[in-house]
Amino acid sequence: MVRPIIRRVMVAGEGTTERLQVTIEGGGGGTTAGVLTRPSRRIEHVSDSPQVGARLRALAQAGYTTAQITASLARQGVRSPKPAKSVRRQSVVERMPR
């Protein structure tokens, strides 16, 4: 008799953010849970978007240029919607207060 290794995989998105809650149920009844990051097309869909937006506005009000803001956010570890990439200047320009 062959027992299945994986019985069920459950995936739930956290709203429109890049975060996915994943639960794997094994054939023996055990479960494993974790969080995965999926690519997102828009920076507004990144889970820390409100905090990044507030930081961006503060830097803009302090007189930073878009290049300086981009460098500052990158140093702070802010990522682009695509998880493997640093924040880009174009994303900063799009979110600048008008």
Same domain, 52 and 32: no
Q: Please answer whether residues 21 and 33 qualify as being in contact, where contact means their C-beta atoms are separated by less than 8 angstroms.
A: yes
On whether residue 56 sits in a domain, the answer given is yes
Domain count along the chain: 2
Same domain, 25 and 61: no
User: Element (H or E) spanning 91, and its range?
Assistant: helix 89-95
**Structural domain of 16:** 6-37
On whether residue 1 sits in a domain, the answer given is no
**DSSP-based three-state secondary structure for 95:** helix
Same domain, 49 and 83: yes
The per-residue DSSP string of 34-63 comes to: EEEE---S-GGGSTTHHHHHHHHHHHHHTT
Same domain, 52 and 82: yes
Same domain, 56 and 29: no
Return all residues near 86 (Cβ < 8 A) that are at least 6 apart.
74, 78, 79, 80
Is pLDDT larger for residue 73 or for residue 93?
Answer: 73
Q: What is the pLDDT of residues 37-73, one digit of tens each?
A: 777 666 666 666 778 888 888 998 999 998 998 898 8
